Amino acid sequence: MRYLVLLFFSFSALAQVSTEEIFPTGDKEITLIFDLKLAKDSRASGLLGKTSDVFLWSGAGDADAGDAFKYQPAGQTNFSAPFEKGKMTSLGNDKWSIKLTPRTYFNVPAGNPIVKLGLLLKSGDGKAQTEDFILKLYAGSYALKWLAPTESFTLADAGTSVSVRAKFSATSSISLKTGGAVLSTVSSSDSINYTYTLGAEKGKLHTLILEGTSGSNSLKDSVRILTKPAVVTEALPAGIKDGVNYVGDRVILCFYAPSTSFVYAIGEFSNWSALPAYLMKRTADGWRYWVDLGPQVPGKEVAYQFWVDGKLAVADPLTEKILDPSNDTYISATTYPSLKTYPTGAKGIVSVFESGATPYVWKTTNFTRPASSNLQVYELLIRDFVADRRYKTVADSLGYLKKLGINAIELMPVAEFSGNDSWGYNPIFYTAPDKAYGTKNDLKYLIDKCHENGMAVIMDIVLNQADYENPYVKMYWDGSKPVATSPFFNPSATHPYSVFFDFNHESAHTQWLVDVVTKFWLQEYKIDGYRFDLSKGFTQTPSGSNVDLWGQYDASRVKIWKRIYDKIRSYDASAYVILEHFAANNEENELGNYGMMLWGNSKFDMTRIAQGYTQDFSQASYKMRGFTNPSVLNYIESHDEERLMVEVANGGKKVFTAQERLERMKMAAATFFTIPGPKMIWQFGELGYDVSINENGRTGTKPLKWTYLQDSERAKLLKVYQQLGALKSSKAIFTSTDFTVGAIGAVKRNLITKGSEYVLVIANPDISSQAVSASFPATGLWYDYFSGKSFEVKNAEAKMNLLPGEFHLLTNVSWNTINLGLVPWSVPDFNILGVESEFIALQVYPNPAREMVKVDWEAFEAGETSLKCMDAMGREVFQKNLPQIKGVNSTTISTQNLPKGLYFIQVNTQRKKLLIH
């Protein structure tokens, strides 16, 4: 007699996908039925309400542990196009069906079993889709299916009756038992139907065992029914906090779960069963449940969940580690050594505790945070910054950032998110670092090394929304969205930019979560502050799809943010609080004056400037926006922006060469980063990264370009960034509040003053040369930083002739005396006109020239003259030295071998130089 393992043949209990057939097989036609309202993937919302344009994308598998999409139908190759063979039939009310015979539909070879199907529904263009469903098929000779109860573990009220129904695949001898007693027997039938009466005892587990025999085949399976328990109300023991508590060798779990009736702790300690010993006690306010699990083995990880109201098992929302059966198998042992094996008997994501774990020993204990007024932040996505995507590898790369003058890194979200490959803005567990990047101690090591190198760590945190696998989303769910009474979430977002499920920040329960989470990372991981994603979304003021209305001053939102800020500062008096807000300027100003910082997007303005257009850039100055404090963290690139190099390549006022684009990146950096106030670099902006944000999908993995470092011209761009970073870090004048950001026509002019010191940045973004008055704030000796040369200004209104893209960082103090070789113009090629009061006559003719050009100039003394010709990029075409007499001098230049274009001729006398084009 052989015993067969029971297979469940559909997800009818979940109802996302089911079959009309009780025992669907791979060799007979089956009808698949999908209920899209119950799909969990947020992308499925794009399928709701459709009456057409829904297609099946599917596969078949021949082994329980194998790929469910191993065999696929012919022609199913382009996910972004309709697959006509998989066209679904609408049943109305967001239900869809299709009929198919698996073996022929998927072309499975004869003799190969078909044990499961991999299924999902999608729109024709693939932009909307469900999650993957796995439908198991009947591949044996004998099976049974429970028709009631439909789940192996269910809950019922004490004293009630439950229906017990099952179907067998063949005529059988059937018996139903409990506790050794036979409840019913049926002979020569393929089904059983029995009514079982539960006793009056609450919290009692009833196990019903069903056995069937048909010929030489036998099978056995069971369902368990728990009567609703009587919950004990008892206050938390002293010192117990939300989450896991280690009290000596004992573990006490505390679960914040308002608006629920009862909770069991289940896990490896209970064999994943709801046992009376693990029924959690409830506090008098009904918001918390707790249980003492007793002594635990030190150093042993234990997996657990909370079974809520007899309906749903969820991981601990405040766990510091999860095990995810759908994603952990793709995490390598190099990234996460000795990752705990997913426990047998568990379902879904589980949480983990470890009593007696060895704590991380912090090596840097005296770190002083940089002043917020002069933060130089590097925004970094671990996935796309280092090839192996590990916290530890980033830690070993900090020398590169230190050379950039970076004093803070902003980590894009690292709290557990859905899947392993993400920007991180789809969070599911807020106090667990994502294992896709390494262990929690690896993250602590990264933070420790940052502090060792003088860098603060700012955590990008996503408390505006959560993805479906977040326990508080699942616990208060109506089948398609959060319930209206959810303690945490709005059924629909109050604003137009929500992607997942929108928190209600006026709720005391959401406020509890925000406070617990923000306190946790500051204290446990010693981070230095937060960048809050979509902070403008922290509002209950409805704006519908009206973006402008959403951005208007919102007193409720201001109150919410002041509360959060006050709480964070009560945990850590100097922690940074940075908002991605983009609301009305008066609202941002109020929050800035309160102590918060605001992201400042200068991308559009700098794009136009780098493209060669005239564009006001004054909003890059916090003063021009009316801020009293330097509270605006400005950037010209962020993860949300198209790359500046891509913009210049595709939308310039002219078609720029590759070299010209790099020169414009240097000009942009010098113009932007010298403005006082905190600044941010998005990773690889310093190398002129030119891969579009849309490559491989907006949030998809982008190629690493560390090979840029081997490109001598890109290396010059990097060194310009490094020089600017070093100046910002070392020169107090860049923290001055006495500065202006302006323009002289097309030419940008920034002036910083501190006492008698000045920094003057002049840049010509136009595609034509520009002769302008630099309006020097003082006469005397001045220095061109990048060339290391000095010159004397006798006339404050000295004229400068700037080539296209040319820029200069000028100071009246000597910071550098060598030519850094990073820009194609320098003294003596520095095109100052009027630095002295004498006048030299210069004529160039004919202009334009064909074969030759004649140059005449008048000199005040005899000596030697240097004559140079440069192209529009400032590159030297030729140079020659000539004897010079006092009076009129002449020479000719052949132009026959020069390509058509704009050229500059420069004559340097011993005391003077002139340039004309």
- Among all chains, which residue has been given the structure tokens 């393929």? 190
- Give the pLDDT mean for 231-260: 97
> Is residue 841 predicted with pLDDT exceeding 70?
no
pLDDT at 50: 94
pLDDT at 899: 80
Q: Which residues pair with 892 in a beta bridge?
A: 854
The angle at the Cα of 553, spanning 547 to 558, to the nearest 5 degrees, equals 115
pLDDT confidence tier of residue 838, bands split at 50, 70 and 90 = very low
> Is residue 263 predicted with pLDDT exceeding 90?
yes
- Give the pLDDT mean for 886-909: 79
pLDDT tens per residue across span 550-581: 999 999 999 999 999 999 999 999 999 999 99
pLDDT at 826: 64
- Highest mean pLDDT: which range of 143-157, 360-374, 813-827, 899-913: 360-374
User: Do the Cβ atoms of 226 and 205 come closer than 8 Å?
Assistant: yes
pLDDT tens per residue across span 461-504: 999 999 999 999 999 998 889 999 999 999 999 999 989 999 99
Domains of the chain: 2-136 (2.60.40), 144-227 (2.60.40.10), 243-354 (2.60.40.10), 372-465+503-730 (3.20.20.80), 732-829 (2.60.40.1180), 842-916 (2.60.40.10)
- Give the pLDDT mean for 249-269: 97
pLDDT at 471: 98
Q: Name the least confident of 120-124, 463-467, 834-838, 842-846.
A: 834-838
Six-digit token string for 693: 């944000």
Cα gap 738→745, rounded to integer Å? 22
pLDDT tens per residue across span 591-627: 999 999 999 999 999 999 999 999 999 999 999 999 9
Percent of the chain residues past pLDDT 90, beyond the cut: 79
Cα gap 692→646, rounded to integer Å? 6
Cα gap 837→792, rounded to integer Å? 11
E-assigned strand segments in 436-572: 456-461, 465-466, 501-502, 529-532
- Give how far Cα 320 sits from Cα of 351, 430, 459, Å: 8, 8, 16
Q: How many CB atoms lie within 10 A of CB 304?
A: 26
- Give the pLDDT mean for 141-161: 88
Percent of the chain residues past pLDDT 70, beyond the cut: 95
Tell me the CB-side half-sphere exposure of residue 80, using CA atoms within 13 A. Answer: 1
- Give how far Cα 156 sits from Cα of 159, 203, 267, 598, 868, Å: 9, 10, 21, 52, 94
Cα gap 701→547, rounded to integer Å? 29
CA dihedral 797, 802, 808, 814 (to 10 degrees): -50
> Does the predicted TM-score (pTM) go above 0.85?
no
pLDDT at 878: 79
pLDDT tens per residue across span 334-351: 999 999 999 999 999 999
Strand order in the sheet with 852-859: 842-845, 852-859, 887-894
Q: Name the least confident of 71-75, 438-442, 541-545, 700-704.
A: 541-545
383 Cα distance to chain centroid: 10
Six-digit token string for 114: 């078909």
pLDDT at 872: 62
pLDDT tens per residue across span 771-789: 888 889 999 999 999 999 8
User: Do the Cβ atoms of 300 and 349 come closer than 8 Å?
Assistant: no
pLDDT confidence tier of residue 860, bands split at 50, 70 and 90 = low
pLDDT at 874: 64
pLDDT at 1: 27
Strands 789-793 and 780-784: antiparallel
pLDDT at 873: 63
Q: How many CB atoms lie within 10 A of CB 311?
A: 12
